[in-house]
Structure 1
Amino acid sequence: MTKHSPLACLSNATLFKDLPESLRKKLVTISTHQEYFPKGSLIRQPFDGKDGMLVMDKGKAKVYSLNEDGKETILGLLNKGDSEGQEHLFSTSARENFIQATTDAWVCSMTRNDFQKLVRQTPDLALSLLNDFGQKLVTAEKNTVRRNSMDAKQRIMAYLNDLSKNKVQIK
Structure 2
Amino acid sequence: MDSNVCGLLKGVDLFSELTEEQLGLLANLVVVQDFNRDETVVLEGDCSMKALYLIASGTVQVYMTGVDGRETILSFLERGDFFGEMSLIDGEPRSASVRTVTDAQLMIIHREPFLTLIRQTPEIAMSLLSEMSKRLRKANKQIGSLSTMSVSGRVAGTLLNLMEERGMRIHTDNGQMVTVIHNRPTQQQLADMSGTTRETVSRICSMLVKANAIAMTGKDIVIFDETALQEKATKG
TM bin (shorter chain): 0.5 to 0.7
Correspondence 1:109-120 to 2 at 5 A? 109-120=108-119
Rate the CA distance shift 1:29–1:116 in 2: closer, same or farther, 3 A.
same
* Bigger helix share: 2
Does residue 1:59 correspond to 2:58, yes or no? yes
Rate the CA distance shift 1:40–1:11 in 2: closer, same or farther, 3 A.
same
Contact 1:64–1:98 (8 Å) recurs in 2: yes
What TM-score do the two structures reach when normalised by structure 1? 0.66
Tell me how far apart the structure 2 counterparts of residues 131 and 82 of structure 1 sit (CA, whole Å): 17
Where in structure 2 are there 5+ consecutive unaligned residues? Answer: 135-236
Where in structure 1 are there 5+ consecutive unaligned residues? Answer: 141-171
1:90 is paired with a residue whose SS is helix
| Deviation >6 Å, runs of 4+ | none
What TM-score do the two structures reach when normalised by structure 2? 0.49
Give aligned pairs, total: 131
Does residue 1:22 correspond to 2:21, yes or no? yes
Give the CA deviation at 1:11: 2.5
Contact 1:65–1:72 (8 Å) recurs in 2: yes
Question: Identity of paired residues, percent?
Answer: 22
1:129 is paired with a residue whose SS is helix
Give the CA deviation at 1:48: 5.1
Correspondence 1:1-171 to 2 at 5 A? 5-33=4-32, 35-46=33-44, 47=46, 49-120=48-119, 123=120, 125-126=121-122, 128-130=123-125, 132=127, 136=130
- Measured against aligned partners, the alpha-carbon deviations of 1:140-171 in whole angstroms (never above 9, x if no partner) come to 9xxxxxxxxxxxxxxxxxxxxxxxxxxxxxxx
Rate the CA distance shift 1:67–1:6 in 2: closer, same or farther, 3 A.
same
Rate the CA distance shift 1:89–1:20 in 2: closer, same or farther, 3 A.
farther
Contact 2:51–2:108 (8 Å) recurs in 1: yes
CA RMSD of aligned residues (A): 2.7
- Measured against aligned partners, the alpha-carbon deviations of 1:46-94 in whole angstroms (never above 9, x if no partner) come to 3151212111112111110101111101011111222112333322121
